[in-house]
Chain A
Amino acid sequence: MKSNTAYAIYILWLRQIKRYFRSKSRIVGSLGQPIVFLVALGFGFGSIFAKAGGGNYIQFLSPGIIAMSIMFTAVFSGIELIWDRQFGFLKETMVAPVSRLSIMFGRTLGGATTSTIQGVIVFLITIVIGFRPDIAAVLWGLLFMFGIAIVFTAFGTAIASTMEDMQGFGLIVNLVNMPLFFLSGALFPLTTAPFWIQWIAFINPLSYGVDGLRAAFTGVSQNSIGVDAIVIAGITVLFLVVGSWLFNRVEV
């Protein structure tokens, strides 16, 4: 029966993927926000950024927007847990001869994969808008995208495990997402920001995701790519452990 664990995880992953590709409106709909940010900020602030000596703003902004769209999709994928609870499918998985840990893993991998796909689509859009990444480092870039996706899917699942209704989930998620996004260095460099903002950016997981993506795609970053990778890997483990612990307490 042990050998079934991997297949069960695969099955739970496959389910998320199927559902994702089946809801075309969700894919298209969630591209709206990143496009608006890219166009409005990219072209709006571009000249100011260049005048201030920052260089090409699209080049700076694109990794940030890719990271943002992955984070938002990933955290919101937690809502599927609440959804499954409400529509009963969670019970079907909970009485199956599969450990809670595998269920949590399958779900997280599924959510992370769809968020990464979303990130790749946004990445392609940034290229259309004028982003010129270093193609040699695309593999590193994909790795960071997946890292951000795992961290925030686990985070979303953890929150969803403690919630019973979708409205509450939406409120909490927005409360957390927005500050994390604005204080991650995705939109503007935080090196000259007040000390306390830098401190928040320092403990913000997204900062390292954005910085890592920037390092991979443009070669310009605050930390070295290795530091970013290690931090993201560490946070991934932490969030997976916390998420599993909370998911283990879910009653059906």
Chain B
Amino acid sequence: MVLFQFVMPDSAISVKNLTKKFKHSLVAVDDISFDVENGSVFAFLGPNGAGKTTTIKMLTTLLHPTSGTIRINGMDPVKQSHAVRQSFGIVFQDPSLDDELTAYENMFFHAGLYGVPRKESPGKIEDLMKFVELWDRKDSLVKTFSGGMKRRLEIARGLLHTPAILFLDEPTTGLDPQTRNYIWTYIKKLNEERGLTVFFTTHYMEEAERAAQRVAIIDHGKIVINDTPANIISSSGTASLEDAFIKLTGRAIREQEGTGMDQMRTMRQAWRGGRR
């Protein structure tokens, strides 16, 4: 499988002095800089409302930065948005599958939107669905899938256009330990066997400790630390990444302002509950 269709710079992701201010004068991301090495697994951690999602949105072309520069596979997400979009895959925090379509159709439509050559796509879809062990359910409607199955399908879908980077925004939230384990096995395999760069966020610190080669912690829009998990633990004089995280970001519980998106999320959950 050819993974790199692009000329690869050393850094898959390069961020310099990135800032995002929203209209109501809230500085969500405040002058952050970091690099993600090609072929590495990078964890981006932080309490709720710290600026994680805003950063991911800017990296993935969904939001324009107020200032600073971003390079994704050497390209500018603002000026070369289509080329950048072609070069990464993403699994969003909330499900983004079409429930009324079958698993195969979800894959097929993704291939169409990303211009995967029509001769190659059936083979690729089969490969990836076998990889996440969903091939025998390919003709089932997605609404009949469990949360873990949906996640696996989303990972397969995110890889369909052979991206060089995979973004995972809280990929294991709400899943049972078995499924979480499973998903991390896939992700590790992808990274090790195919050289995929993985950028992920999570609230499960032990996942970051185990899977990531490098961890950055963001709080109040600023990066507090960016190092290997082992160094973070030893430099903070704690026993685990979780303790180090608490030490670095404090014990106070973060209240996130309810946005329209949060309200939708709540509504959707109500809908889902009502349907069952």
Contacts from A to B (Cβ < 8 Å)? 1, 3-4, 7-8, 10-12, 14-15, 18-19, 22-23, 84-99, 164-165, 252
Q: Is there contact, CB below 8 Å, between A23 and B113?
A: no
Question: Which one of B88-96, B126-134, B176-184, B226-234 is at the interface?
Answer: B88-96
CA distance A250 to B83 in the complex (A): 21
Q: Is there contact, CB below 8 Å, between B85 and A97?
A: yes
- Give chain B residues whose Cβ lies under 8 Å from the Cβ of A95: 60-62, 85, 90
Question: Which one of B31-39, B97-105, B235-243 is at the interface?
Answer: B97-105
Question: Which one of B4-12, B41-49, B195-203, B259-267 is at the interface?
Answer: B259-267
Set A3, A7, A23, A86: member contacting B264, Cβ < 8 A: A86
Known: A15-B101, A19-B100, A164-B264. 14 other contacts (CB 8 A): A4-B115, A7-B112, A8-B115, A15-B98, A18-B101, A19-B101, A86-B267, A87-B98, A87-B99, A88-B95, A88-B97, A95-B60, A97-B83, A98-B113
CB distance from B64 to the nearest CB of A (A): 11
- Give chain A residues whose Cβ lies under 8 Å from the Cβ of B113: 8, 11-12, 92-93, 96-98
CA distance A227 to B113 in the complex (A): 38
Residue of A nearest to B102 (CB): A18
- Give chain B residues whose Cβ lies under 8 Å from the Cβ of A85: 264
- Give chain A residues whose Cβ lies under 8 Å from the Cβ of B268: 86-87
Question: Number of B residues contacting the other chain (C-beta, 8 Å)?
Answer: 31
Q: Is there contact, CB below 8 Å, between A88 and B101?
A: no
- Give chain B residues whose Cβ lies under 8 Å from the Cβ of A96: 85, 110, 113-114
Task: Confirm or deny: B109 has a beta carbon within 8 angstroms of a beta carbon on chain A.
Answer: yes
CA distance A4 to B61 in the complex (A): 19
Q: Which of A86, A88, A89, A93 has the most CB of B within 10 A?
A: A88
Chain B 70-92 residues near chain A, CB threshold 8 A: 81-83, 85-86, 90, 92
- Give chain B residues whose Cβ lies under 8 Å from the Cβ of A94: 62
- Give chain A residues whose Cβ lies under 8 Å from the Cβ of B109: 11, 14-15
Q: A15-B109, A23-B100, A97-B82 are in contact. Are A87 and B115 (CB under 8 A)?
A: no
Can you list 13 contacts pairing A with B, beta carbon distance less than 8 Å?
A7-B112, A22-B100, A84-B98, A88-B97, A89-B96, A89-B97, A89-B98, A90-B96, A92-B97, A94-B62, A96-B85, A96-B113, A164-B264
